[in-house]
Amino acid sequence: MNSPIVRVAVASRSFSRHPQLRKALSDRYPNVTFNDAGASLAGDQLIEFLRGHDRAITALEKLDDALFSAVPELRVIGKYGVGLDMIDLEAMRRHGVKLGWTGGVNRRAVSELVVAFAIALLRHVPEGDALVRGGGWQQLKGRQLSGRTVGIIGLGHVGKDLVQLLKPFGCRILANDILQFPNFCRLHGVTQVALDELLRESDIVTLHVPLDGSTRGLLTNARLDLMRRDAVLINAARGGLVDEVALREKLRDGHLAAAAFDVFADEPPSDRELLTLPNMLSTPHIGGSSEEAILAMGLAAIDGLDKAGDPIEVATGRFQPAASA
């Protein structure tokens, strides 16, 4: 008896444009529909694209109850990328759709960007670049990353990797997480503290938590007030973790020395005043966009089509795929 034909849809534009990923997926699944039009798929357009497919690879596309109801033939999602905040996991479970996802595959790309942000802001690199481009020439006195106190909010894949990268700089590292990691912290000299203490004591605060109901708006105006006036804030995790209006005011009045954001509540961001502040460094969500990370995330999404499980168990790390899957 012949096996049923498995049809795969790739909603992600960047995956669809990647020749190595296209070949790797097509070698495993001959019947693939790629997003060759390069459309940003959402709502009814996304539903129409996914119809008639058993499995799909998605990235930033929103997957909700309405979509799963409209495409009952869809049984497996391979997630391209590390964030899950665009997927309604409870709705996915109710509809019996399985999730294939591997967390942390882009961790080195993100943690390297954070180090780059920290050094750039401490040494006034963006300000110096603007100065020279404008015809000026003045030495700007900055600070070294070496020996600074770095506060890491979220000690998951990226947070732990960042600890490793900071070792040569001799930083004092504070961390805050809802979970305790005594063995890791003891081995790497990390001190887990309450969030308020971390904010008060850190020269550099960097966010590495997912966006969910417990973290949305985590750094409120009041919490930003706890930070030192010479502190630097970095967000290469998810937009929506920080009150961006309050951040703008802190940067403008000198309550914070500088900030670097790779992610924003709305992308692209519309607050031109925030973006044009001289002590604000912004990038267009490039944290995971190294060649190496893109390939790793894509291959993980392909594997996820075969090694999928209950979405809640996958998201919380409780799902372990069979070795033969």
> Hey, which residues are catalytic here?
238, 267, 285
Cβ-Cβ contacts under 8 Å for 201 (sequence gap 6 or more): 149, 151, 174, 193, 228
Report the C-alpha dihedral over residues 42, 47, 49, 53, rounded to 10 degrees: 140
Paired residues of 289 in beta bridges: none
SS (H, E, C) 185-244: HHHHCEEECCHHHHHHHCCEEEECCCCCCCCCCCECHHHHHHCCCCCEEEECCCCCCECH
Residue where the block lists tokens 């966010």: 207
Question: Phi and psi at residue 167, in whole multiples of 5°?
Answer: -55, -50
CA gyration radius for the chain? Answer: 21
Give every CB contact of residue 277 below 8 A, 6+ residues apart in sequence: 248, 251, 252
Cβ distance 193 to 176 under 8 Å?
yes
Pairwise CA distance, residues 298 & 104, whole Å: 13
The phi, psi pair for 186, rounded to 5°, reads -65, -40
Number of other residues whose CB lies within 10 A of the CB of residue 138 = 8
For residue 125, CA distances in Å to 42, 116, 235, 272, 311 come to 38, 10, 18, 21, 43
Pairwise CA distance, residues 200 & 279, whole Å: 20
How far is residue 206's CA from residue 185's CA, in Å, rounded to a whole number? 17
Alpha-carbon distance 142 to 261, whole Å? 20
